[in-house]
Amino acid sequence: MRGQEHIFGADDAEIARGIKSWRVGIVVGLSILLGGWRCTSAHRPIQAQSAKALIAGGRSTSALTVVPGVSSSSAHFDGNSQWVLVWSDEFNQSDGSAPDPAKWTFDEGVGNNGWGNNELEFYTTRSKNVVIMDGNLVITALRESFTDSSGVTRNFTSARLKTRELFSQQYGRFEARIKIPPGPGVWPAFWLLGSNIKSVGWPSCGEIDIMENKEASTMHGTIHGPGYSGDNGISSTYNLAAGHRFSDAFHIFAVEWEPNAIHFFVDNDLYATRTPADVPKGAQWAFDHPFFILLNLAVGGNWPGRPDSTTPFPAHMLVDYVRVYRRSNNQPAAFAPVVCKNAKRLVVC
């Protein structure tokens, strides 16, 4: 996330913002609606109805979109058997459970200057802000006055999870199936930070933003490192067809990361590749060591701006799964030049 600071424990600073060669192992169906790709849940229809009932009752969850699509419970990435699943969270605990403490820890509070971005939320671990529901991790941003034990008050709450000191990996495929909330001023993100952040700091640790969003139809994928961080991060965008919004359905966001290359995907589309040739002259390529995973839903901040009267609250970010793979042969893929799809401009990736 752009120019953010993050805390470990009390004061340690963190930050982060930010292939075509894969296929789904078991496909229930593929829905191409109104000219745009939509990956939506095709199973658990009874649970989807219960989620709708919970929304009506004011619970911290969100109704699922139940139309033909990719089965989120069985659609494991295959890639011609080039990949081996090494870590995942399917969020299949019972409704109302907290995230698995063997896989996730939390950032709490307001960070340094709103996590370095003048963000407006207070991150908590309460079930109102983060809970398992209907086979999804649900991160909920609430508009509420919240004061912690030290007297810090904010008008929004939300949650941020991380795998720091529990799981990290150098290279591989990192993917998640996510449905983001609508509205200006909310900032969902799925991203990676270098595990050496405590010793070298940010941005020297490196940051890979697999997905972050501030516009209805545009997704951003970005890398940050020394000499190319914050607003100077190296970024690409993926745009849906006119009339489509990312908040309308689940989508799969992924990177395939190998020595000297990071490939960015939305659903089946490779839309950007970053290499050491992209960083400023003399700058370090900061992507040669293990990284850990983060998921969060921020409110406001310098990048997305403040929410307004049209922003729906509660705002729900649903995560169906997070999966991490490594190549079975430990060899990088050979990517033919691909013309990026749905980007603001057509470029060769």
pLDDT in tens, 286-300: 999 999 999 999 999
Q: What are phi and psi of 320, to 5 degrees?
A: -75, -40
pLDDT of 70 > 60? The answer is no
The arithmetic mean of pLDDT across residues 178-184, rounded, is: 98
Residue 112 burial class via C-beta count within 10 angstroms: exposed 0-12, middle 13-18, buried 19 and up: middle
Q: Which pLDDT value is given to residue 332?
A: 60
pLDDT of 65 > 90? The answer is no
Q: Which pLDDT value is given to residue 116?
A: 86
pLDDT of 6 > 60? The answer is no
Q: Which pLDDT value is given to residue 126?
A: 98
Q: Which helix (H) or strand (E) holds 197?
A: helix 197-200
Q: Is 215 a catalytic residue?
A: no
Residue 189 forms part of a structural domain: yes
Q: Is 212 a catalytic residue?
A: yes
Please report, for the domain that includes residue 227, its CATH number: 2.60.120.200
Question: Is this prediction's pTM over 0.75?
Answer: yes
- Express each pLDDT in 309-349 by its tens digit: 999 999 999 999 999 999 988 666 555 444 444 443 333 33
pLDDT of 50 > 70? The answer is no
Residue 332 forms part of a structural domain: no
pLDDT of 26 > 90? The answer is no
The arithmetic mean of pLDDT across residues 198-210, rounded, is: 97
Check 5, 14, 119, 212 and give the catalytic one: 212
Query: Cβ of 329: how many Cβ atoms within 10 Å?
Result: 10
- Express each pLDDT in 115-151 by its tens digit: 889 999 999 999 999 999 999 999 999 999 999 988 9
Cα separation, 90 vs 148, whole angstroms: 32
For all residues of the chain together, what is the average pLDDT? 80
Cα separation, 123 vs 140, whole angstroms: 10
The arithmetic mean of pLDDT across residues 41-60, rounded, is: 34
Torsion sign over Cα 3, 132, 136, 179 = negative
**CA distances for 12 relative to 5, 143, 154, angstroms:** 9, 27, 21
Residue 336 forms part of a structural domain: no
pLDDT of 104 > 90? The answer is yes
Task: Give the alpha-carbon dihedral of 208, 219, 156, 50, to 10 degrees.
Answer: -110
Q: Which pLDDT value is given to residue 333?
A: 59
Residue 348 forms part of a structural domain: no
Torsion sign over Cα 1, 190, 292, 237 = negative
Distance, CA of 148 to chain centre: 27
Q: b/e per residue, 118-146, with b = 16+ CB within 10 A?
A: ebbbbbbbebbbbbbbbbbbbbbbbbeeb
Instruction: List strands edge to edge, sheet with 105-107.
Output: 105-107, 160-162, 291-299, 186-194, 207-212, 218-224, 234-239
Residue 223 forms part of a structural domain: yes
Residue 44 forms part of a structural domain: yes
Residue 337 forms part of a structural domain: no
Torsion sign over Cα 262, 267, 268, 272 = negative
Number of separate domains in the chain = 1
Beta-bridge partner residues of 254 = 175, 265
Check 207, 215, 256, 258 and give the catalytic one: 207
Residue 175 forms part of a structural domain: yes
Distance, CA of 239 to chain centre: 16
Domain that holds residue 276: 6-327
DSSP three-state, residue 198: helix
What is the full DSSP assignment across 30-78? Answer: -EEETTEEE--B-S-HHHHHHHHHHHHTT-S-----BSS---TTT--B-
